Amino acid sequence: MKPLITFLILVFMFPAAGNGAMLKSYVAVSSRLVTLGDFFEGAEKYTEIAVFQSPDPGKSGKVPAYRLMEIARKAGMLNIHDNGVVAITVERMSTEISIETVRELISGHLIDNGFIADLAMTDILIQNFDTILHADTSVIEPVKIRQFAHTPGRKRFSASISIDLGSKQYLHTIVGTIREMIDVVVLQRAMKPGEIIGPGDVELERRDRSRVRNNHTSGIPDLIGQAARRHLTSGRVISSSDVSAPNIIRPNDIVVILYQVPGLTLTVRGRAVSAGAKNATINVLNLQSNRIIQARAIQPGIVSVTKTISPIAQLGTN
């Protein structure tokens, strides 16, 4: 910090402190100048005498106590005490500029210029901003974008931002990535083929759209009760090809074969040769005729033969 060339107001215009003023060991200021009254307790009448330039916002410095005592006496402050202080720490208050502040600034710029449509589904990663910057507390816009470079369709961007320190501007260049996000269903545990997905097995997570396959699923209710078609690992983004309706009939299940025509219903016992979900067509062994027929799975233990698949004679009923 540098002493001012001249005091802002003639020191002899101010009366001496009556009850004595105590020198502080710590001073916090918001303005660019530090006054004599800032340094002493009980010296409010001297707050218009500027004696030093304050540090930059967010910074601090030290002033020797003897130097302050000399300045105070020249200003007419006779009844003053150093209070045993050797040096006074002066800190400049600031408006903090964090990475979140910069991210919001970039987000607003992207929306205003039509680079993105849905901010809620956009993730902005800033790669070279790992500290807190400080701006003057009195300015209306502590941080501004001076230059911005981004090609639509590409993820990368760069921006030059300025931090208003009050008496000067601090320029900082940042680079980052813009990611379009999407909500997907993610498996929370490993599953074997045929296992049924329960409510606690899947969760909705937000992922980078460019890393997600087009056949992903985004609705948890549609997956509950579905069966895994193959071995699935924990953390996998579920796709429509990973699941299917659960089998209601398994191979070797004993089933009732129904054949219905107007006014007549025939039944016969059979054994499932293949597995099938509800309404799936499966192979069934007719245990009376010892022939394999095709039938539609209706519910566990019951299948139906359609007219076009098998004539009545093939049922082998007596």
Biggest CA-to-CA distance, the chain: 129
Tell me what the mean pLDDT of segment 226-240 comes to.
92
pLDDT confidence band for 310 (50 / 70 / 90):
very low
pLDDT at position 11 over 90: no
237: closest CA among 197, 207, 193?
A: 207
Measured over the CA atoms of residue 273, residue 277, residue 278 and residue 280, the dihedral's sign is negative
What pLDDT was estimated at residue 151? 77
Which structural domains are found in the chain, ordered by start?
11-93 (2.60.480), 97-180 (no CATH), 182-246 (3.90.1210.10), 248-313 (2.30.30.760)
pLDDT confidence band for 38 (50 / 70 / 90):
very high
- For 151-163, the pLDDT digits (tens) are 777 789 999 999 9
What pLDDT was estimated at residue 265? 82
What radius of gyration do the chain's Cα atoms show? 40
What pLDDT was estimated at residue 317? 46
245: closest CA among 202, 296, 279?
A: 279
- DSSP category for residue 207: E
What pLDDT was estimated at residue 15? 43
β-strand pairing of 50-53 with 33-35: antiparallel
pLDDT confidence band for 130 (50 / 70 / 90):
confident
Higher pLDDT, residue 318 or 117: 117
pLDDT at position 308 over 50: no
Rounded Cα distance between 54 and 270, Å, is: 94
pLDDT confidence band for 307 (50 / 70 / 90):
low
State the chain's mean pLDDT as an integer: 86
Q: At which residue do the structure tokens 């408006």 appear? A: 95
Rounded Cα distance between 276 and 246, Å, is: 8
Rounded Cα distance between 235 and 207, Å, is: 12
Higher pLDDT, residue 217 or 55: 55
- Specify the pTM: 0.62
CB 294 within 8 A of CB 286: no
Which residue(s) pair with 178 in the sheet?
Answer: 124
β-strand pairing of 80-81 with 40-41: unpaired
